[in-house]
Amino acid sequence: MTSSPFELLGVPVLFALDEAELEKRHRELSKALHPDRYAGRPSSERREALSRAISVNEAFRQLRDPISRAEALLLQLGRGVSETNQPKPAPALLMQVMEEREALSVARRAGDRARVERIAAAASGRAEEAAERMADAFSEDPIPVEHVLELLGELRYLRRLKEEAGAALDEL
Amino acid sequence: MLLDIFDPKAAPRAIGIDLGTTNSIVAYVRDGAPAALTTCDGAPLLPSVVHYAKSGAILVGRAAKAQLTREPERTIASVKRFMGRDAHDPETKRLGAHRFAEPANETEARSVRFDVGRPANVTPVEVSAEILKSLKQSAIDQLRGVGGAVITVPAYFDDAQRQATKDAGRLAGLEVLRLLNEPTAAALAYGLDQKQNGLFAVYDLGGGTFDVTILLLEDGVFQVKASGGDSALGGDDMDRAIAEGLLEQMGASRESPAEVVALALSAARELKHALTDAPEASIELPARGGHNIVAKLTRAQLDDLILPLLERTGKACRRALRDAGVEAKALDGVILVGGSTKVLRVQSYVAELFGKPPRCELDPELVVAYGAALQADLLTRDDGDVLLLDVLPLSLGIETMGGGVDKILPRNTTIPTGARATFTTYADNQTGFELHVVQGERELAADCRSLARFSLRGIPPMPAGMARLEVELSVDENSLLKVSARETTTGISQEIAVQPSYGLTDDDVERMLIEALDFGEEDLERRRLVEARVEGERLLLATNKGLSADADLLEAPERAAVDQALAQLTSAIASATTASPVQAAIDVLDQVTHDWAGRRMNRAVAQAIAGKSLNDIEKTVEHAAGVDAHVARHRGDTA
């Protein structure tokens, strides 16, 4: 079995990871494994370093993002989820998301960049809040898995909204 | 001027090359500091122009540039803009004096070809190789030996453009140690010069390409957070905008003979340069009807002409900031790179965009070559505490049913990186998969850059949706892609030799290599021997260094085998007349050090992880208890 991203980066199995600590660990491991460090070495050693550096970078990417970090934790709890088998979100959230997307498409059509930027900023703010609630949920004992799944759904919706706002800003 | 004293035993030195759209530069590190070498033109800057004379001679640099308006069709400028592009690329339709050859078949259409009035047309890879050969020769003349090169590329270059650059290096007989992103190279030169940590933006507007990179410099690591840009936007486009107006005043058009277009472009460049020092400039040009006209251009007019171009750079900058998740005011500094940042309006635009005056203490035309030289030095020294962590500039994906794109690796992912994706059959008894790998941000595969198409055959008949095709994409430190695929239910596995959709195949490059050498195969063999020796020497050095640090990780019999392999390699390097005995000794050493290398890596990882303070570890244990307890209980449930 492959190592968990927490194990690969040598960080605690935790949602509320210290971001600065995580980045520092990634830098240190990169210094140990990046292919540039193996430039003069035999080819098999270079290949080995490359594949380890890839694993470390993948783990870092996974832990830096709250959604995939939560997924990695859920996997450790025996609840593998992904976008396709995630439980349905609450109707209230769905309503809200529909309204926000409508507002976004109105602002996009009107070419109102400031408005799109506000929508993007609001989505980022709410995603941060949701991530904080997620951290709280993961620190409870026992972990309220259903609540975590709900928050995960919310984070996914907010991410998509942010992506759509980003795409709109690319156009404007 | 200081002269190096010739040491016949000195190891060949690694060089850094900025292969630019307008000018190219070769640099190296002397006593820890980068220095540009003098090119065949007697100056650090070599114009990136190649002239294919009627006599058969090939001229590079200023001599070639002098032919631009005389024999424009035999003279290739700005070849970088055509790297990795196919014969029908929009870039070939823009205002210019190049004469493109009609592709004779589909294979030829995969690359732009220039008709330079010779029996054989030339590709951008071959033209670039001429520039690189000239720089290599300058380096050999001044350093006696060249031991590998770092070549810079725009951060926003896609896989095909990078591959083409690497091929040009190979064709020029250079060992390409690394393709390095230009803004990252510039940051390295600045960072090592100023010894300052922080968050920086690099705004790099060259002759033909624009890059913006947001990067964090901390603990000696240059970590790129986001890159953006446009690989067809630069000073050339300013020249074109000016030249369109000049052509009109001359009573000519873009359809006029190549000499006229080349003259207008060259006059446009002169006017642009003059406006850096003066508020207005003028130039005399021939016009229809045989008389001369005086074309005038003011700074205000130039500013208006280039504003649309600057706005395109602004958009890319805002997106890069967004991708990096930072605001302009969080930046500690903005660094200007590239000759086009000498245009005053560019400087004021950057200041407005980022809300602070940009820095240009280091010459914006040399700084990229300096960074490349520093990286080349770092790579060959095998020590030090400096590391460049770059990102994938454009998303990589696979075409889905219906022409969409499944993005497997998003842009701005730290490299090296890799990802797997699983696909299935959509029809009963389907025995093959067609896969199309693309790069870009657009929704439709047809709008992205096609990198490779390949198929996996021989899958036993199964109902639709039963077969499982696992595709693995991996991207190395140069942002170069490798693809492999296997069918997992039957275990049919295939390392797929990806046929590039663009550019040249490996066979093409090999053939060109042989053709380029005076004595074909014989020369190639001699060159292989030299390369094997260089690699062998480097390996001896690295292994001995490893022994002095980690010999305790070797069991006695292993140590004996390593010592024997070292002795064998040493004697092979001394006595071999062909590459193969050296290569064989290299392979043996590789084999006997393999397990040891793994242990050394484990030690390096353990040291990296143990680097944190004891205090942190305690905190960690406390926090982790919650999840661990939960996991333990769940294990009990499911066991």
Q: Which residues contact A80 (CB under 8 A, 6 or more apart)?
A: A71, A74
In a domain, B575, yes or no: yes
Distance CA B418, CA A53 (A): 10
Cis peptide before B416 (omega within 30 of 0): yes
The minimal CB distance from A57 to the residues B417, B539, B609 is found for: B417
pLDDT band per the 50, 70, 90 thresholds, residue A1? very low
Q: What is the count of structural domains for chain A?
A: 2
A84: pLDDT confidence band, cut at 50, 70 and 90? Answer: low
Q: Give the H/E segment covering residue B14.
A: strand B13-19
Question: Which one of B126, B130, B158, B204 is the catalytic residue?
Answer: B204
Contact (CB, 8 A) for B622 and B572: no
- Judge: A11–B620 Cβ closer than 8 Å, yes or no: yes
- Domain contains A38: yes
Q: Are residues B410 and B495 in the same domain?
A: yes
What per-residue confidence (pLDDT) applies to B620? 43
In a domain, B372, yes or no: no
Q: Which regions in chain B score pLDDT beneath 50?
A: 1-2, 497, 612-627, 630-631, 633-639
CA nearest B217 in A: which residue? A27
Q: Residue B593: which CATH number?
A: 1.20.1270.10
Residue A140 placed within a domain: yes
Count of CB atoms situated within 10 Å of the CB of B309: 22
Parent domain of A44: 5-64
Q: Looking at the domain assignment, is residue A84 inside a domain? A: no
Which pTM was predicted?
0.90
In terms of domains, do A167 and A96 share one? Answer: yes
Counted domains in chain B: 3
CATH label of the domain that carries residue A18: 1.10.287.110
Q: What is the pLDDT of residues A113-159, one digit of tens each?
A: 899 989 988 999 999 999 999 999 999 988 888 889 889 989 999 99
Cα–Cα distance, B92 to B101 (Å, whole number): 11
Q: In this predicted structure, what is the pLDDT of residue A36?
A: 94
What pLDDT score does B625 carry?
A: 44
| Mutation choice for A interface testing from B212, B389, B396 by most A CBs within 10 A | B389
In chain A, residues with a C-beta closer than 8 Å to the C-beta of B177 are 39
Q: Are residues B297 and B263 in the same domain?
A: yes
Question: How far is B317 from B229, CA to CA, in rounded Å?
Answer: 8
Q: Which residues of B148-184 are buried (b: 16+ CB within 10 A; e: fewer)?
A: bbbbbbbbbbbbbbbbbbbbbbbbbbbbbbbbbbbbb
CATH assignment of the domain containing A97: 1.20.1280
Query: For B102-124, what is each residue's pLDDT tens digit?
Result: 999 888 888 999 999 988 899 99
Q: Do B594 and B521 fall into the same domain?
A: yes
Nearest-by-CA chain B residue for A171 = B315
Q: Are residues A104 and A59 in the same domain?
A: no
Q: What is the CATH number of the domain that holds B487?
A: 2.60.34.10
pLDDT at residue B499, as a whole number? 59
Which of B182, B236, B377, B487 does the annotation list as catalytic? B182
Q: Give B437→chain A minimum CA distance, Å.
A: 20
Instruction: Work out the angle at residue A71's Cα, subtended by the Cα atoms of residues A69 and A73, and round it to the nearest 5 degrees.
Output: 70
User: Which residue range(s) make up the domain with B569?
Assistant: 517-607
Residue where a domain stops, chosen among B255, B278, B304 = B304
Single-letter residue type at B152: T
* Residue A93: per-residue pLDDT: 83
Does some domain include residue B75?
A: no
How far is the alpha carbon of B438 from chain A, nearest alpha carbon, in Å? 19
Contact A42 B593 (CB under 8 A): yes
Which two three-digit tokens encode residue B540?
């001896």
B18 annotated active-site: yes
Q: Cβ of A33 and B605 within 8 Å?
A: yes
Residue B329 among the catalytic residues: no
Q: Measured between alpha carbons, how far is B566 from B588 in angstroms, rounded to an integer? A: 9
Domain boundary among B304, B336, B359: B304
Within-domain flag for A155: yes
Catalytic (active site) residue B182: yes
Q: Do B630 and A141 touch (CB under 8 A)?
A: yes
* Max Cα-Cα span within chain B: 96
B380 with A14: Cβ contact below 8 A:
no
Kindly provide the ipTM of the predicted complex, given to two decimals.
0.91
* Contact assignment for B380 to A40 by CB distance below 8 Å: yes
Q: Return all residues near B34 (Cβ < 8 A) that are at least 6 apart.
A: B16, B27, B28, B189, B369, B370, B371, B373, B374
Q: What is the separation, in whole angstroms, between the first and last Cα of chain A?
A: 47
Residue A3: count other Cβ atoms within 10 Å of its Cβ: 10
pLDDT of residue B638: 40
Give residue-wise pLDDT tens across range A36-81. Answer: 999 888 888 898 999 999 999 999 999 999 999 999 999 888 877 7
